[in-house]
Amino acid sequence: MSPSYDVIVLGLGGMGSAAAHHLAARGARVLGLEKFGPVHQRGSSHGGSRITRQSYFEDPAYVPLLLRSYELYDRLERDTGRTVATLCGGVMLGRPDSRTVAGSLLSARTWDLPHEMLDAEEIRRRFPTLTPAADEVALYEARAGLVRPENTVAAQLQLATRGGAELRFQEPVTRWETLPGGRGVRVHTPEDTYTAGQLVICPGAWAPGLLADLGVPFTIERQVMYWFAPDGGTAPYTPARHPVYIWEDAAGVQIYGFPAIDGPGGGAKVAFFRKGTVCTPETIERTVHDDEVRAMADQVGRLLPGLPGRFLKAATCMYSNTPDEHFVITRHPAHPDAVTVACGFSGHGFKFVPVVGEILADLALTGETGHPIELFDPGRLTAAPAPAHGGAR
């Protein structure tokens, strides 16, 4: 049997790589296990970009975690020399009473975040690529922007290894159990059996199987990301001229998008939010069909007439949704002395990756954290509240 570790981290995507990094930085003996290769494309931590923002319409309770996450992203760049964040500004657009606008404004006012409110005329003047309707407004946040998921995961794996973590890829976990008398955990893979004092589980879309005893009714959704070459070239869509954006139309349909960050041939990325189909990691349809591309082009063309241009490519990822679309970050209720879980990020988790890693290290090593995570207690889901639709990445 392999030697015992202080902590085993199950899953080395966004959250798991962050946990491995923060645990190793504190001197813990860490084993990280991942069923795929490093920085893989099979889960939810890929696609070139994710929106980051502080005026958080999902709930003002997220804002303190976002502020810390911004600090940790800066540190990650300094410590690795990798580019992981670009703050190009962002607009949250829609009718004034839409959740996208009203919720963003509530968070901005609650936490005194710098922001501006723009009417439709001012939106068009500042950002000529955008053509909102006359009755639409936007909250503009200069500190919004994008993070690069692949670079982030690679940077965190780099620092975890530098800190002494042992990371094993292409080694799926088949089962795990706690040891009698609170003496830790045992984790089984096809290659070996490992023991540790603590287990941190960051399963992504594999949560329904690995955490069935958590009692959370996860729903896994297939989502599609699209890249289009704008009419007339990408110059008006570069980060210096074009913000990240989230637009909610009068029917409540949301799309989100990015500047062109990968040069003239890379195009600009756009996607729907909450228009996915239920799947599992084993049954997800990876092929993106022509009717899906047309629907995306039609919708984004209403706000950015020059963007649909020419379709370049598409890719799928998965959301792991909870019923209320808030996260689950906790000591496992059935194994509170040995197991910590982070899951159910419901399509809006990646911007929190660094601070979630810090929280998981706190919980695994001390059993508590100073960060506000009360909202993420799975006990809230006992009554199975109705989904709170909305949000974007």
pLDDT band with cut points at 50, 70 and 90 for residue 390:
very low
Residues that constitute the known binding site for FAD: 6-36
Arch. (CATH architecture) of 87-146+219-321: 2-Layer Sandwich (3.30)
Confidence band, pLDDT 50/70/90 cuts, at residue 235: very high
Instruction: Answer with the residue of higher pLDDT: 190 or 386.
Output: 190
> Distance between CA atoms of 193 and 180, rounded to whole angstroms?
16
Q: Residue 313 pLDDT > 60, yes or no? A: yes
Quote the pLDDT of residue 317: 96
* Owner of token pair 């041939």: 265
Query: What are 100-143's pLDDT values in tens digits?
Result: 999 999 999 999 999 999 999 999 999 999 999 999 999 999 99
The alpha carbon of residue 229 and the mean position of all alpha carbons in its chain are separated, in whole angstroms, by 25
Q: Which residues pair with 328 in a beta bridge?
A: 343
pTM: 0.95
**Tokens representing residue 179 in the block:** 């040891």
When pLDDT is cut at 50, 70 and 90, the band that residue 263 belongs to is confident
* pLDDT band with cut points at 50, 70 and 90 for residue 387: very low
| Per-residue pLDDT at 391 | 36
Architecture of domain 1-48+148-217+323-382: 3-Layer(bba) Sandwich (3.50)
* pLDDT higher than 80, residue 373: yes
| Residue that has been written with the tokens 């001229």 in this structure | 241
pLDDT, residue 264, reads 78
* 3-class secondary structure, 118: strand
Per-residue pLDDT averaged across 342-352, rounded?
97
Q: What is the pLDDT of residues 11-33, one digit of tens each?
A: 999 999 999 999 999 999 999 99
Report the SS3 class of residue 151: helix
Domain ranges of the chain: 1-48+148-217+323-382, 87-146+219-321
Residue 92 falls in which region: left (phi positive, over 0), alpha (psi -120 to 50) or beta? beta
Binding residues: 6-36
pLDDT of residue 365: 98
CA distance 179 to 52: 40
Average the pLDDT over 67-79 and give the result: 98
Record the tokens describing residue 126, joined without a space: 């500042």
Retrieve residue 173's tokens: 């976990």
Q: Degrees (nearest 5) of the Cα angle 281, 12, 345?
A: 60
Q: Average of pLDDT values for 290-296?
A: 97
pLDDT at 274: 81
Distance, CA of 376 to CA of 374 (rounded, Å): 5
Average pLDDT over residues 149-169: 98
Q: Quick check: 323 pLDDT over 50?
A: yes
The dihedral region occupied by 94, where left means phi > 0, alpha psi between -120 and 50, and beta the remainder, is left
H helix runs in 134-186, sequence order: 149-162
